[in-house]
Structure 1
Amino acid sequence: MTTNPADSSVMTYLRRLVELTGPSGSEEDVVRRVAEFARPYADSTEIDAFGNVIAIRRAAQEGARQCIISAHMDEIGFRVRKIEADGFLRLEKVGGSDDRILPAQRVWVRTRTDRLLGVIGTKSAHLLGDADRTSVVPYAQLYVDIGARSAAEVDGMGIAIGDPVGFVGDLAELGKGSGRYTAHALDDRAGCALLLTLLERLHQESPPVTLIAVFSVQEEVGLRGVEALARHLQGDVALAIDMTAADDTPEIAGHTLRLGAGPTIKVMDFSTLAHPAIRRGLLGAAGRADLNVQHEILKGIGTDAGALQYLGKGVPTGAVSVTNRYTHSPVEVLDQADLEGAVELIHQFLLALPDMPLTFLD
């Protein structure tokens, strides 16, 4: 794995994962790379029929507790819906992108054998009328310019109806020495990088619990990958690792989730109410590691925890999030310290899990 000398392990993984294009249902390249990275550190690695990667690091002792931790590999994006006679591509959304930000974005169109650069077209500034300046163009009216002059040229490039389309955006630091990085698909390749880092750490020691690391697909379209797994996976505890929306920018009043203020322990979202034993355990882990943490109450978001809570007869479930500015855009931003803090938080949680009370009542 090529590394940047300034990168920690989690940032190295993140850099390699955001290079890829993998909208929901088209995660093949991400699945291959995650499985490649996980195999050296797992006792077993499986790719199921849905595309989920399940990497297991077994505990040193038989009968130890099992903890399922999930992070999703997919990103929001599009599919090619129509190829126009003049060579422009029309799109269908996959996941929750914002129509306001779509014009003038660079995108990758992934074919069976290649990845081709295109741009989402926008009317030239010199041609704008008054109505254009105050309106949002619905995504169904947008098009991708792939450089083709005709549908035949599009076909010659190997592009077909249904091909996945995703934003362009490699990992890059903002400013100089800020420790804040931008890329597309930080949601949730950052969570995948975190989970790979945990597997790497636990390879170097005898883990006190069995870690079932799940890298899931199709989270952005309804938690579908983990919902399929939840029907047969067995575990004592479940966690989701995901991003959450920072509200610390100038256009938002009443800041509650900030970059650089530490990893976030979920209280509730629209998909789950975190189990009190898991929240207590995570807060205890934060105390032992001397970590600042934030508390997440955000009804406009959902994570794999919403499906994991239904494992078996129901298991104690929670989530750890990393704050993320400009979510579901090509310029998402995270703070490296928050991501590294989340690695330490969950590691400490796992070390304490063998003796952790898991009852609902304290």
Structure 2
Amino acid sequence: MPASEPAPLRPQDEPPLLAYLRHLVNLTGPSGSEEDVVRAVAQLARPLADTVEVDAPGNVIVTRRAAQDGARRLIIATHMDEVGFRVRQVTREGFLRLEKVGGTDDRILPAQRVWIRTDSARLLGVIGTKSAHLLTDPDRAKVVPYPELYVDIGARDAEAASAMGVRPGDPVGFVGELTELGAGSGRFTGHALDDRAGCAVLLSLLERYRDNAPPVTIIAAFTVQEEVGLRGAQGVARRIEADVALALDMTAADDTPDTGGGHLTLGAGAALKVMDFSTLAHPAVRRGLQQAADQAGLNVQHELMRGIGTDAGALQFGGQGIPTGAVSVANRYTHSPVEVLDVQDLQGALDLLDAFAARLPDLDLRFVDLPEAVGG
């Protein structure tokens, strides 16, 4: 098996939702270098869809048609890319300097394992850190800025790194396979849960409609370059017509001792987006999601997060404007190799999307109900 390929799809007896997630988390796909994820998603979606297309930017557009002609159309977008890096320079000594792709925190970077994806293989490297025995007092008080960091791939010099296939521009991503915390916790850690978890949920939704057509036509848009400005979703919004758009993404939980906000909590259900910096959810879509949750008996949270944006921010500009909302899943330690989610929240997001699609044929999508005009 080539080094860039993931482990087999489904460990024995693992639920499909977790199996999809485990498969996708094993891949390396920083923004603009999502090729391996695109291939995997397209392959997994083919038996579940009427059409599967990869557009020019790299978005995977999957359509599952409703049984009835003229049925409403629902776009659900979830992104395939992850935060990461590119190789900026190979030094004479064979170390790699990095350029950031997306929002990573310099504090957590030293001593991390990373994958370098070359044209022919995936190489393991470590982001170097000064040995504890060599630290000075100023070192201990300093966050090393990422331009000063380097990746050690074991090369003795630049020629050895070149012989391994490393070139400037190669994508670099965190190492972090999907692993359950503790024993029987139902909480899993891994890299790129943002937003491979959304991809796993959307594939699982399509699987529910494998044998029976959905009540509305579902356009599942697995997008690229979300982490660097919602770029893939912008192309989707311009090209694909729909009646409603949803983004499905992760959001930052603040239920740990160092945050203590209690706004979004693991295990408390999927979150209905109210607002973030990229969008204010359409009131009809929010009502429809809440009604779907109530009818299905699903616990939900409400997300107001100024420091986050999702593909909903781009989808809302589709056509002449489209009613848009978002469903989020709380995630600890976002944009790190040890993100943590609760599988019950993933299941809740899946059930909520299914319930919303069932209600959508009759949902009132008007922003406001105006009385008939009187007089001229």
Q: Does 1:359 align with 2:359?
A: no
Q: Does 1:346 align with 2:346?
A: no
C-alpha separation in 2, matches of 1:88 and 1:326: 28
Count of residues paired in the alignment: 362
C-alpha separation in 1, matches of 2:350 and 2:163: 46
Hey, which bits of structure 1, 4+ residues long, moved more than 6 A?
none
Aligned to 1:3: 10
Deviation at 1:289, TM superposition (A): 1.1
Q: How big is each residue's C-alpha offset from its partner over 1:45-83, in whole Å with a ceiling of 9 and x where there is no partner?
A: 000110000000001000000000000000000000000
Aligned to 1:199: 206
Deviation at 1:288, TM superposition (A): 1.3
Deviation at 1:6, TM superposition (A): 4.8
> One-letter code of the match for 1:65?
R
C-alpha separation in 1, matches of 2:13 and 2:348: 17
Q: Does 1:48 align with 2:55?
A: yes
Aligned to 2:111: 104
Aligned to 2:23: 16
Aligned to 2:314: 307
Give the match's secondary structure for 1:81.
strand
**Structure 2 unmatched ranges of 5 or more:** 1-7, 370-376
Deviation at 1:254, TM superposition (A): 2.7
Q: Does 1:220 align with 2:227?
A: yes
C-alpha separation in 2, matches of 1:195 and 1:37: 11
Q: How big is each residue's C-alpha offset from its partner over 1:333-352, in whole Å with a ceiling of 9 and x where there is no partner?
A: 00000000100000000011
C-alpha separation in 2, matches of 1:238 and 1:228: 14
C-alpha separation in 2, matches of 1:249 and 1:10: 26
**Mean Cα displacement is larger for which, 129-138 or 197-206?**
197-206
C-alpha separation in 1, matches of 2:105 and 2:198: 22
Give the TM-score normalised by the residue count of structure 1.
Answer: 0.99
Give runs of aligned pairs for residues 204-283 of structure 1, distance below 5 A.
204-283=211-290
**Structure 1 unmatched ranges of 5 or more:** none
C-alpha separation in 1, matches of 2:75 and 2:210: 17
C-alpha separation in 2, matches of 1:282 and 1:115: 41
C-alpha separation in 1, matches of 2:36 and 2:28: 7
Deviation at 1:201, TM superposition (A): 0.6
Q: Does 1:155 align with 2:162?
A: yes
Give runs of aligned pairs for residues 61-80 of structure 1, distance below 5 A.
61-80=68-87
Q: Out of 92, 95, 107, which is 2:99 matched to?
A: 92
Deviation at 1:2, TM superposition (A): 3.4
Give the TM-score normalised by the residue count of structure 2.
Answer: 0.95
Give runs of aligned pairs for residues 115-130 of structure 1, distance below 5 A.
115-130=122-137
Q: How big is each residue's C-alpha offset from its partner over 1:153-204, in whole Å with a ceiling of 9 and x where there is no partner?
A: 0000000000000000100000000000000000000000011011111122
> One-letter code of the match for 2:211?
Q
C-alpha separation in 1, matches of 2:350 and 2:106: 34
Distance 1:6 1:335, change over 3 A: farther
C-alpha separation in 2, matches of 1:350 and 1:6: 28
Give the match's secondary structure for 1:342.
helix
- Percent identity of the aligned residues? 68
Q: Out of 319, 323, 331, which is 2:338 matched to?
A: 331
C-alpha separation in 2, matches of 1:102 and 1:92: 12
C-alpha separation in 1, matches of 2:302 and 2:30: 29
